[in-house]
Amino acid sequence: MPRDKSPTGGVEPDVAGDGDGSGDAAGRNPLRLATAVMFVTELERSVTFYRELLGWTVTVRDDTAALLAGPDGFQLYVRSMGTNAHHPLGHVGIQYLMWTAADEADLRRCEQLLRAQDRYVSSHNGDGFSVVEGRGPDNVPVLITFPGPDQAPRHGIMKRIYEW
């Protein structure tokens, strides 16, 4: 099957050129996302929220930053930028991250945690997966799905990304 190379085709580039997306010409796996950096206004509040939401461990910390690590090796740096910092949506750069819950019960746990943080939490189903959306401590969107794309591949562009 030919690969869709259009910007909205929703497929990963085939770096090996063999059509299966399994790796590069030498058989190595493609790069994977390992770390995200999030600027926040209040370090303690944000570390507490993301530690509880993700169930991750704070592995390193100083006066203005902390590193949270997940069991799969993914890391989230949280850095305090002070109360005057803001995150303008619609500007160039990463707008938000989407997380995947371990199972349906974990998705509901995350939904309850978001509801304690934000009164405007939404939940909907589509294309074989559920999405819960709320806001984190600094009003940054937090989206959690189940199942993840490894279990329920996405077959279209989510309408949600066009809502800014």
| Low-confidence winner among 25-39, 56-70, 82-96 (lowest mean pLDDT) | 82-96
pLDDT on residue 163: 80
The top-scoring range by mean pLDDT among 19-23, 30-34, 94-98, 107-111 is: 107-111
Is the pLDDT score of 93 beyond 90? no
pLDDT tens, residue by residue, 41-88 = 999 999 999 999 999 999 999 999 999 999 999 999 999 999 888 877
- Give me the residue label for tokens 């600094």: 138
Each residue's pLDDT tens digit, 100-142: 999 999 999 999 999 998 889 999 998 899 999 999 999 889 9
Check whether 144 has a pLDDT greater than 70.
Answer: yes
Where along the chain do the CATH 3.10.180.10 domains lie? Answer: 91-164
Fold of the CATH domain 91-164 = 2,3-Dihydroxybiphenyl 1,2-Dioxygenase; domain 1 (3.10.180)
Tell me: pLDDT of 15 over 70. Answer: no
Three state DSSP letters for the chain:
CCCCCCCCCCCCCCCCCCCCCCCCCCCCCCCCCCEEEEEECCHHHHHHHHHHHHCCEEEEECCCEEEEECCCCCEEEEEECCCCCCCCCCCCCCCCCEEECCCHHHHHHHHHHHHHHCCCCEEEEECCEEEEEEECCCCCEEEEEECCCCCCCCCCCCHHHHCC
Which residue would you say has higher pLDDT here, 24 or 65?
65
Can you tell me the distance from the alpha carbon of 110 to that of 103, in angstroms, rounded to the nearest whole number?
Answer: 11
* Domain covering 33-82 in this structure, CATH number: 3.30.720.120
Q: How far apart are CA 101 and CA 162, in angstroms?
A: 23
* 122-126 sheet: strands from edge to edge: 98-100, 141-146, 129-135, 122-126
Strand 57-61 and strand 65-69: pairing?
antiparallel
More confident residue, 29 or 146: 146
**pLDDT bucket at 28, cuts 50 / 70 / 90:** confident
Model's pTM, two decimal places?
Answer: 0.77
